Amino acid sequence: MKDHLSAKATVLFTAFEPSGDAHAAPVIAALKTMAPEIEIVAWGGPQMERAGATMIERTADDGSMGLSALSKISSVRKTQAAIRRWALARRVNVHVPVDSPAANFAIAQFMKARGVRVCHLVAPQLWAWGPWRLNKLRRCTDLVLCLLPFEQEWFRTRRVPAKFIGHPVINRILDQTSMDAQAKELPPGSPKVLLLPGSRSSEVKRNLSLLLQVFSDMQHNHRRALAIIVTANHSLEKLVRNLVPTLPPGVLLMTGKLDASISWCDIALCVSGTVSLDVLRQAKPMVGMYRTGLLSVIGGNLMLSMPNRLLPNILAGRRMVPEFVPCLGRAGPISAAVENLLADQSRLRETANALRTLLPAFQGKSPDREAAQAILAFASGRNPMDNT
Protein backbone atom coordinates (compact mmCIF):
# COMPACT_ATOMS: atom_id res chain seq x y z
CA MET A 1 0.00 0.00 0.00
CA LYS A 2 2.79 2.40 0.89
CA ASP A 3 4.36 2.05 -2.54
CA HIS A 4 1.30 3.66 -4.10
CA LEU A 5 1.03 6.54 -1.64
CA SER A 6 2.13 9.96 -2.69
CA ALA A 7 4.55 11.60 -0.29
CA LYS A 8 2.20 14.57 -0.40
CA ALA A 9 -0.98 12.59 0.36
CA THR A 10 -3.12 14.56 2.80
CA VAL A 11 -5.86 13.22 5.07
CA LEU A 12 -8.21 15.74 6.69
CA PHE A 13 -10.09 14.88 9.91
CA THR A 14 -12.98 17.05 11.13
CA ALA A 15 -14.44 16.50 14.60
CA PHE A 16 -16.82 18.71 16.59
CA GLU A 17 -17.36 16.80 19.85
CA PRO A 18 -15.09 15.43 22.62
CA SER A 19 -16.35 11.95 21.70
CA GLY A 20 -15.24 12.54 18.10
CA ASP A 21 -11.81 13.60 19.36
CA ALA A 22 -11.59 10.31 21.29
CA HIS A 23 -12.72 8.22 18.31
CA ALA A 24 -10.31 9.87 15.86
CA ALA A 25 -7.16 9.86 17.99
CA PRO A 26 -6.34 6.11 17.86
CA VAL A 27 -7.05 6.03 14.11
CA ILE A 28 -4.65 8.93 13.60
CA ALA A 29 -2.03 7.13 15.70
CA ALA A 30 -2.48 3.99 13.58
CA LEU A 31 -2.13 6.02 10.38
CA LYS A 32 1.09 7.60 11.64
CA THR A 33 2.48 4.14 12.37
CA MET A 34 1.34 2.51 9.12
CA ALA A 35 2.20 5.40 6.77
CA PRO A 36 4.31 8.07 8.50
CA GLU A 37 4.87 9.86 5.18
CA ILE A 38 1.28 11.06 4.81
CA GLU A 39 0.15 14.42 6.15
CA ILE A 40 -2.69 14.37 8.67
CA VAL A 41 -4.46 17.68 9.23
CA ALA A 42 -7.36 18.23 11.60
CA TRP A 43 -10.04 20.41 13.00
CA GLY A 44 -10.58 18.60 16.28
CA GLY A 45 -9.39 18.19 19.83
CA PRO A 46 -6.38 17.60 22.09
CA GLN A 47 -6.33 13.82 21.77
CA MET A 48 -6.10 14.08 17.98
CA GLU A 49 -3.24 16.53 18.32
CA ARG A 50 -1.37 14.25 20.74
CA ALA A 51 -1.87 11.36 18.30
CA GLY A 52 0.09 13.27 15.66
CA ALA A 53 -2.37 15.38 13.66
CA THR A 54 -1.47 18.90 12.64
CA MET A 55 -4.21 20.89 14.35
CA ILE A 56 -5.65 23.84 12.44
CA GLU A 57 -8.35 24.71 14.96
CA ARG A 58 -9.66 23.23 18.21
CA THR A 59 -13.32 22.41 17.54
CA ALA A 60 -13.90 19.37 19.78
CA ASP A 61 -13.35 20.76 23.27
CA ASP A 62 -15.99 20.41 25.95
CA GLY A 63 -16.29 24.19 26.22
CA SER A 64 -18.25 24.36 22.99
CA MET A 65 -21.01 22.34 24.66
CA GLY A 66 -21.81 25.32 26.83
CA LEU A 67 -22.70 27.56 23.92
CA SER A 68 -26.31 28.43 23.20
CA ALA A 69 -27.91 26.77 20.20
CA LEU A 70 -27.61 29.91 18.06
CA SER A 71 -23.99 30.48 19.10
CA LYS A 72 -23.17 26.85 18.35
CA ILE A 73 -24.72 27.08 14.88
CA SER A 74 -22.86 30.31 14.17
CA SER A 75 -19.57 28.80 15.37
CA VAL A 76 -20.00 25.68 13.23
CA ARG A 77 -20.81 27.75 10.13
CA LYS A 78 -17.68 29.84 10.62
CA THR A 79 -15.65 26.65 10.95
CA GLN A 80 -17.22 25.16 7.83
CA ALA A 81 -16.33 28.30 5.87
CA ALA A 82 -12.76 28.21 7.19
CA ILE A 83 -12.38 24.56 6.15
CA ARG A 84 -13.69 25.34 2.67
CA ARG A 85 -11.20 28.20 2.29
CA TRP A 86 -8.38 25.99 3.50
CA ALA A 87 -9.34 23.13 1.15
CA LEU A 88 -9.51 25.44 -1.88
CA ALA A 89 -5.82 26.17 -1.41
CA ARG A 90 -4.78 22.59 -0.69
CA ARG A 91 -5.02 19.17 -2.29
CA VAL A 92 -6.86 16.78 0.05
CA ASN A 93 -6.86 13.07 -0.77
CA VAL A 94 -9.23 11.81 1.91
CA HIS A 95 -11.68 13.58 4.20
CA VAL A 96 -12.61 11.77 7.43
CA PRO A 97 -15.70 13.34 9.05
CA VAL A 98 -15.92 12.06 12.63
CA ASP A 99 -19.50 11.70 13.91
CA SER A 100 -21.43 15.04 14.25
CA PRO A 101 -23.40 14.73 10.98
CA ALA A 102 -25.11 18.10 11.43
CA ALA A 103 -21.72 19.81 11.25
CA ASN A 104 -19.90 17.37 8.99
CA PHE A 105 -22.38 16.69 6.18
CA ALA A 106 -21.91 20.11 4.57
CA ILE A 107 -18.12 19.77 4.70
CA ALA A 108 -18.29 16.25 3.24
CA GLN A 109 -20.53 17.43 0.38
CA PHE A 110 -18.03 20.17 -0.44
CA MET A 111 -15.14 17.69 -0.41
CA LYS A 112 -16.99 15.17 -2.60
CA ALA A 113 -17.71 17.90 -5.15
CA ARG A 114 -13.95 18.53 -5.35
CA GLY A 115 -13.21 14.84 -5.99
CA VAL A 116 -12.00 14.07 -2.46
CA ARG A 117 -12.75 10.57 -1.14
CA VAL A 118 -14.93 10.79 1.98
CA CYS A 119 -14.72 8.12 4.66
CA HIS A 120 -17.09 8.68 7.59
CA LEU A 121 -15.73 7.51 10.95
CA VAL A 122 -18.70 6.60 13.19
CA ALA A 123 -21.95 5.94 11.37
CA PRO A 124 -24.63 8.64 11.67
CA GLN A 125 -27.41 7.14 13.78
CA LEU A 126 -29.98 7.33 11.02
CA TRP A 127 -31.37 3.99 12.20
CA ALA A 128 -32.51 5.80 15.36
CA TRP A 129 -33.76 9.06 13.89
CA GLY A 130 -33.61 11.02 10.67
CA PRO A 131 -33.69 8.19 8.08
CA TRP A 132 -34.79 10.85 5.56
CA ARG A 133 -31.14 12.00 5.58
CA LEU A 134 -30.03 8.82 3.79
CA ASN A 135 -30.06 10.53 0.39
CA LYS A 136 -27.81 13.27 1.74
CA LEU A 137 -25.44 10.68 3.20
CA ARG A 138 -25.28 8.78 -0.12
CA ARG A 139 -24.24 11.99 -1.86
CA CYS A 140 -21.48 12.83 0.61
CA THR A 141 -19.74 9.55 1.39
CA ASP A 142 -17.62 6.86 -0.20
CA LEU A 143 -17.67 4.66 2.90
CA VAL A 144 -19.19 4.67 6.37
CA LEU A 145 -17.08 2.99 9.05
CA CYS A 146 -19.52 1.46 11.53
CA LEU A 147 -18.81 0.85 15.22
CA LEU A 148 -21.87 -1.33 15.94
CA PRO A 149 -22.40 -4.77 14.39
CA PHE A 150 -25.91 -4.27 12.97
CA GLU A 151 -25.06 -0.98 11.26
CA GLN A 152 -23.17 -2.50 8.31
CA GLU A 153 -26.19 -4.44 7.04
CA TRP A 154 -28.59 -1.58 7.84
CA PHE A 155 -26.66 0.88 5.66
CA ARG A 156 -25.76 -1.57 2.89
CA THR A 157 -29.39 -2.58 2.38
CA ARG A 158 -30.09 1.13 1.89
CA ARG A 159 -27.35 1.51 -0.74
CA VAL A 160 -24.78 3.20 1.50
CA PRO A 161 -21.28 1.62 1.43
CA ALA A 162 -20.52 0.51 4.97
CA LYS A 163 -18.01 -1.57 6.90
CA PHE A 164 -18.19 -2.75 10.52
CA ILE A 165 -14.79 -2.17 12.16
CA GLY A 166 -15.59 -2.83 15.82
CA HIS A 167 -15.88 -0.36 18.68
CA PRO A 168 -12.84 1.20 20.38
CA VAL A 169 -14.44 0.79 23.80
CA ILE A 170 -15.49 -2.84 23.41
CA ASN A 171 -12.46 -3.99 21.44
CA ARG A 172 -9.75 -2.52 23.65
CA ILE A 173 -7.67 -4.85 25.80
CA LEU A 174 -8.19 -4.47 29.54
CA ASP A 175 -5.15 -4.56 31.81
CA GLN A 176 -6.74 -6.99 34.25
CA THR A 177 -3.81 -7.06 36.67
CA SER A 178 -3.60 -3.28 36.99
CA MET A 179 -7.37 -2.96 37.10
CA ASP A 180 -7.71 -5.52 39.91
CA ALA A 181 -4.93 -3.86 41.91
CA GLN A 182 -6.58 -0.43 41.61
CA ALA A 183 -10.01 -1.86 42.47
CA LYS A 184 -8.63 -3.35 45.71
CA GLU A 185 -7.56 0.15 46.77
CA LEU A 186 -11.14 1.42 46.57
CA PRO A 187 -13.18 1.40 49.78
CA PRO A 188 -15.64 -1.40 50.63
CA GLY A 189 -19.41 -1.03 50.63
CA SER A 190 -22.54 -3.09 50.19
CA PRO A 191 -23.72 -2.52 47.57
CA LYS A 192 -20.91 -0.72 45.77
CA VAL A 193 -22.43 1.82 43.36
CA LEU A 194 -20.73 3.61 40.48
CA LEU A 195 -22.18 6.98 39.45
CA LEU A 196 -21.26 8.13 35.92
CA PRO A 197 -22.67 11.63 35.28
CA GLY A 198 -21.54 12.05 31.65
CA SER A 199 -18.56 13.24 29.66
CA ARG A 200 -19.83 16.76 28.92
CA SER A 201 -20.32 19.61 31.32
CA SER A 202 -23.94 20.02 30.18
CA GLU A 203 -24.66 16.36 30.98
CA VAL A 204 -23.13 16.65 34.43
CA LYS A 205 -25.19 19.74 35.19
CA ARG A 206 -28.41 18.00 34.12
CA ASN A 207 -27.88 14.61 35.70
CA LEU A 208 -25.70 14.85 38.80
CA SER A 209 -28.48 15.73 41.23
CA LEU A 210 -30.66 12.94 39.83
CA LEU A 211 -27.89 10.38 40.31
CA LEU A 212 -27.36 11.53 43.88
CA GLN A 213 -31.08 11.39 44.63
CA VAL A 214 -31.31 7.82 43.37
CA PHE A 215 -28.36 6.84 45.55
CA SER A 216 -29.94 8.59 48.53
CA ASP A 217 -33.10 6.52 47.96
CA MET A 218 -30.97 3.36 47.89
CA GLN A 219 -29.48 4.18 51.27
CA HIS A 220 -32.88 3.76 52.94
CA ASN A 221 -32.68 0.01 52.29
CA HIS A 222 -28.91 -0.36 52.05
CA ARG A 223 -27.28 1.56 54.89
CA ARG A 224 -23.80 0.23 54.04
CA ALA A 225 -24.05 1.36 50.42
CA LEU A 226 -21.11 3.30 49.05
CA ALA A 227 -21.05 5.33 45.83
CA ILE A 228 -18.14 6.66 43.81
CA ILE A 229 -18.66 9.42 41.25
CA VAL A 230 -16.13 9.02 38.46
CA THR A 231 -15.50 12.00 36.19
CA ALA A 232 -13.77 11.83 32.82
CA ASN A 233 -11.31 14.66 33.56
CA HIS A 234 -10.29 17.18 36.19
CA SER A 235 -12.39 19.93 34.62
CA LEU A 236 -15.53 17.87 35.22
CA GLU A 237 -14.32 16.98 38.72
CA LYS A 238 -14.08 20.70 39.47
CA LEU A 239 -17.58 21.18 38.08
CA VAL A 240 -18.95 18.46 40.38
CA ARG A 241 -17.30 20.10 43.38
CA ASN A 242 -18.82 23.45 42.40
CA LEU A 243 -22.27 21.92 42.00
CA VAL A 244 -22.04 19.90 45.24
CA PRO A 245 -19.48 21.57 47.55
CA THR A 246 -20.19 19.00 50.27
CA LEU A 247 -20.75 15.48 49.01
CA PRO A 248 -23.52 13.50 50.73
CA PRO A 249 -22.55 10.76 53.23
CA GLY A 250 -21.38 7.59 51.53
CA VAL A 251 -20.36 9.36 48.28
CA LEU A 252 -16.79 9.77 47.06
CA LEU A 253 -15.47 11.64 44.01
CA MET A 254 -12.68 10.46 41.74
CA THR A 255 -11.22 11.32 38.33
CA GLY A 256 -10.01 8.54 36.06
CA LYS A 257 -9.61 4.86 36.96
CA LEU A 258 -12.86 4.15 35.14
CA ASP A 259 -12.07 0.51 34.41
CA ALA A 260 -11.03 -0.18 38.01
CA SER A 261 -14.20 1.52 39.28
CA ILE A 262 -16.37 -0.60 37.00
CA SER A 263 -14.59 -3.73 38.21
CA TRP A 264 -15.14 -2.61 41.81
CA CYS A 265 -18.85 -1.85 41.59
CA ASP A 266 -21.89 -4.07 41.97
CA ILE A 267 -24.06 -1.80 39.83
CA ALA A 268 -23.51 1.32 37.72
CA LEU A 269 -25.89 4.24 37.30
CA CYS A 270 -24.84 5.94 34.09
CA VAL A 271 -25.88 8.79 31.88
CA SER A 272 -26.74 7.42 28.44
CA GLY A 273 -23.75 7.50 26.11
CA THR A 274 -20.59 5.64 25.20
CA VAL A 275 -19.76 5.05 28.86
CA SER A 276 -22.53 2.44 28.92
CA LEU A 277 -20.28 0.41 26.61
CA ASP A 278 -17.42 0.72 29.10
CA VAL A 279 -19.76 -0.86 31.63
CA LEU A 280 -20.89 -3.47 29.10
CA ARG A 281 -17.22 -4.31 28.38
CA GLN A 282 -17.05 -5.79 31.90
CA ALA A 283 -20.65 -7.07 31.83
CA LYS A 284 -21.65 -5.12 34.93
CA PRO A 285 -25.35 -4.53 35.68
CA MET A 286 -26.39 -0.96 35.02
CA VAL A 287 -29.29 1.46 34.89
CA GLY A 288 -29.18 4.17 32.23
CA MET A 289 -30.75 7.62 32.35
CA TYR A 290 -30.66 11.01 30.68
CA ARG A 291 -32.44 13.94 32.26
CA THR A 292 -33.95 16.55 29.97
CA GLY A 293 -36.89 18.93 29.68
CA LEU A 294 -40.49 18.19 28.74
CA LEU A 295 -40.18 19.47 25.17
CA SER A 296 -37.13 17.28 24.58
CA VAL A 297 -38.94 14.24 25.95
CA ILE A 298 -41.91 14.87 23.65
CA GLY A 299 -39.65 15.58 20.68
CA GLY A 300 -37.58 12.48 21.34
CA ASN A 301 -40.64 10.27 21.52
CA LEU A 302 -41.88 11.68 18.21
CA MET A 303 -38.58 11.56 16.31
CA LEU A 304 -36.74 8.52 17.66
CA SER A 305 -37.74 5.35 15.86
CA MET A 306 -35.98 2.91 18.21
CA PRO A 307 -37.84 1.60 21.27
CA ASN A 308 -34.56 1.59 23.23
CA ARG A 309 -31.98 4.39 23.46
CA LEU A 310 -29.29 2.95 25.78
CA LEU A 311 -26.54 1.39 23.66
CA PRO A 312 -26.48 -2.08 25.32
CA ASN A 313 -30.25 -2.34 24.81
CA ILE A 314 -29.91 -1.20 21.19
CA LEU A 315 -27.28 -3.90 20.62
CA ALA A 316 -29.50 -6.50 22.27
CA GLY A 317 -32.62 -5.45 20.40
CA ARG A 318 -34.52 -5.59 23.68
CA ARG A 319 -34.67 -4.01 27.14
CA MET A 320 -31.78 -5.93 28.71
CA VAL A 321 -31.11 -3.33 31.42
CA PRO A 322 -33.42 -0.62 32.78
CA GLU A 323 -33.22 2.69 30.94
CA PHE A 324 -34.85 6.07 31.48
CA VAL A 325 -33.76 7.87 28.32
CA PRO A 326 -34.94 10.57 28.21
CA CYS A 327 -36.55 11.30 31.57
CA LEU A 328 -37.93 14.36 33.31
CA GLY A 329 -35.84 13.90 36.41
CA ARG A 330 -38.14 11.93 38.72
CA ALA A 331 -35.94 9.70 40.86
CA GLY A 332 -38.72 7.38 42.06
CA PRO A 333 -39.05 5.09 39.00
CA ILE A 334 -35.28 4.89 38.60
CA SER A 335 -34.79 4.06 42.29
CA ALA A 336 -37.43 1.33 42.01
CA ALA A 337 -35.63 -0.21 39.02
CA VAL A 338 -32.34 -0.19 40.92
CA GLU A 339 -33.94 -1.76 43.98
CA ASN A 340 -35.52 -4.44 41.82
CA LEU A 341 -32.06 -5.44 40.58
CA LEU A 342 -30.49 -5.35 44.02
CA ALA A 343 -33.31 -7.23 45.74
CA ASP A 344 -32.02 -10.58 44.52
CA GLN A 345 -28.39 -11.41 43.76
CA SER A 346 -29.57 -13.83 41.09
CA ARG A 347 -30.99 -10.88 39.13
CA LEU A 348 -27.59 -9.20 39.09
CA ARG A 349 -25.96 -12.43 37.90
CA GLU A 350 -28.60 -12.96 35.19
CA THR A 351 -28.13 -9.40 33.96
CA ALA A 352 -24.35 -9.80 33.85
CA ASN A 353 -24.65 -13.07 31.93
CA ALA A 354 -27.08 -11.49 29.46
CA LEU A 355 -24.68 -8.60 28.84
CA ARG A 356 -21.84 -11.04 28.13
CA THR A 357 -23.81 -12.47 25.21
CA LEU A 358 -23.40 -9.13 23.38
CA LEU A 359 -19.60 -9.21 23.35
CA PRO A 360 -18.83 -12.04 20.84
CA ALA A 361 -20.16 -9.94 17.93
CA PHE A 362 -17.11 -7.68 18.39
CA GLN A 363 -14.49 -10.44 18.54
CA GLY A 364 -11.61 -10.25 16.09
CA LYS A 365 -12.15 -6.58 15.24
CA SER A 366 -9.49 -3.86 15.51
CA PRO A 367 -11.21 -0.48 15.01
CA ASP A 368 -8.16 1.77 14.73
CA ARG A 369 -6.26 -0.58 12.41
CA GLU A 370 -9.27 -1.34 10.18
CA ALA A 371 -10.20 2.33 9.92
CA ALA A 372 -6.61 3.27 9.07
CA GLN A 373 -6.45 0.57 6.39
CA ALA A 374 -9.64 1.88 4.75
CA ILE A 375 -8.38 5.47 4.79
CA LEU A 376 -5.00 4.48 3.36
CA ALA A 377 -6.70 2.50 0.61
CA PHE A 378 -8.56 5.65 -0.46
CA ALA A 379 -5.34 7.67 -0.20
CA SER A 380 -3.64 5.23 -2.57
CA GLY A 381 -6.50 5.43 -5.10
CA ARG A 382 -8.09 2.09 -4.25
CA ASN A 383 -11.55 1.27 -2.90
CA PRO A 384 -11.40 -0.59 0.42
CA MET A 385 -14.76 -2.17 -0.39
CA ASP A 386 -13.38 -4.05 -3.39
CA ASN A 387 -13.57 -7.83 -2.91
CA THR A 388 -15.63 -7.50 0.28
Residue 53 contacts by C-beta under 8 Å, 6 or more apart in sequence? 13, 24, 28, 40, 41, 42, 44
Per-residue pLDDT of the chain (388 residues; tens, 9 = 90+): 444 565 579 999 999 998 899 999 999 999 999 999 999 999 999 999 999 999 999 999 865 444 455 677 888 999 999 999 999 999 999 999 999 999 999 999 999 999 999 999 999 999 988 788 899 999 999 999 999 999 999 999 999 999 999 999 999 999 999 999 999 999 999 999 999 999 889 899 999 999 999 999 999 999 999 999 999 899 999 999 999 999 999 999 999 899 999 999 999 999 999 999 999 999 999 999 999 877 766 666 666 667 889 999 999 999 999 999 989 889 999 999 999 999 999 999 999 999 999 999 999 999 999 999 999 999 999 999 886 6
Question: What's the burial of 256, exposed, middle or buried (CB within 10 Å: 0-12/13-18/19+)?
Answer: middle
DSSP code of 310? S
Q: What angle do CA 139, 142, 145 make, to 5 degrees?
A: 115
Rounded-to-integer distance, Cα 298 and Cα 296, Å: 5
Question: What's the burial of 223, exposed, middle or buried (CB within 10 Å: 0-12/13-18/19+)?
Answer: exposed
DSSP code of 366? -
Domains of the chain from N-terminus onward? 2-171+364-379 (3.40.50.2000), 176-362 (3.40.50.2000)
DSSP code of 67? S
